[in-house]
Amino acid sequence: MPFVRVNANTVVIIDDVNGTARNLSAYITSVSAIGRKVAALDVTSFADAVERIIAGVEESGEVTVQGKWNTDATGPNGYYPALVGTINTVEVGPNGTAAGARRIRGEFLCTSYDVLADVKGEVQWQAVHKLDGTLDGTGTY
């Protein structure tokens, strides 16, 4: 039987430029896929009848967070513009922060922060973070 869970208790914590952890969960509506992957290196030779590959170095993944834009001093717009170009801790807890709950954490370079607006749509924001180093996908709270 598949396990289906509503993500109402997902937590997203991102350090500000001073290293203070900020819980942005109330302002975030989506988080892109976050995980580990390695480059597949082709080592096929003329003697092989099929393609052969080996694992290469771990790739530096990206994670995009997005949500409803606001001007609250404690919200994303209050400190995100200063994050662009800096490396900060990004932590996602898909199942909240209860003891033993899984967390995915790493150091990420904030590569962009944008405000998105449509004529008849809701004003939103999004930020893109690129992994610097190894992602800790096995930690718990």
Q: Which of 91, 94, 97 is nearest to 135 (CA)?
A: 91
> Can you give the pTM of this predicted structure?
0.82
The DSSP code for 8 is T
Mean pLDDT (whole number) for 109-113: 97
Measured at the CA of 140, the angle between CA 139 and CA 141, to 5 degrees, comes to: 135
Other CB atoms within a 10 A radius of the CB of residue 40 amount to 12
Q: Given a cut of 80, is residue 5 above it in pLDDT?
A: no
Q: How confident is the model at residue 1 (pLDDT cuts 50, 70, 90)?
A: very low
Phi-psi region of 26 (alpha: psi -120 to 50; beta: other; left: phi over 0): alpha
Q: Considering the domain 11-140 in this protein, what is its CATH number?
A: 2.40.10
Q: What is the tens place of the pLDDT at every residue in 48-75?
A: 999 999 999 988 889 999 998 888 888 8
Q: How confident is the model at residue 34 (pLDDT cuts 50, 70, 90)?
A: confident
